[in-house]
Structure 1
């Protein structure tokens, strides 16, 4: 049941986002679009509510409860940049907006970008682990929450692997190939 709620929330995220952008750019209803975009985080509220109801109702935590915590962490940490990413592309495609910004390819700008993305991953890890610990404390039964401890390990593994990108770009920054034109780095809004 909870896996279906997670899938519905993922689909709901993109449906509400698409509706908000469509209202903003296709229907030219900026207020309606803004209202719909503000509703995107409500999808996360639905997910955490369903998870809490399941656990409070006597359910034993399993893989899906941990997945819900991980989804919530990554959705909160990366949601704003996902919305901005979609908004830039939608505005360019349907409203004559400027071309979407791209991530920097080289040098200090790329290193800064990678550290910023790692910072989002760290926030996602902290939120996910915090939600897992809150679930464990809420249930108060080690036998029913054993699976959640494994998720803290999984999230920590993702964080450790993700850390390789900014470390690599810090130690060995990417450089353009000989003869390749390097465009001026625009001020990144991410």
Structure 2
């Protein structure tokens, strides 16, 4: 898993062969196949671990935040951005390689987005819906915005500061979830 965590982040999932994974991990191909059905299954396990860990971090931050919408949004976004960017490999697997893998992680990615959308919906449930908009669709929209901000951070020659990413994401979330 450790070898895949690094190799799937760079050079990337599509460029990483089972032979290279096994060489890096210092295991035989047979040992690999005793644990995983293929590199796709390993990528899914890595992605799901990253998602589970980040969901736990965000849920805890939101739960411990003061009970205002602004405070919940700020705490959740900051926790997510800090956790995701603390290790560039995690950020790449969750936001770049998950898309580059094609159909391999479609279901896993959909489950992750759904779990984060539920978290956003629950965190904002005590507040009026913005202009009567569908809360789930708003949650999906703001999640997409946050993902694009992190992709920009990963691909940019001059990475925007983490504080700036968080400020922009908070602005988008609060404007989207806030009352009209």
Give the TM-score normalised by the residue count of structure 2.
0.35
Higher helix proportion, which one? 2
Higher CA-based Rg:
1
Give the TM-score normalised by the residue count of structure 1.
0.34
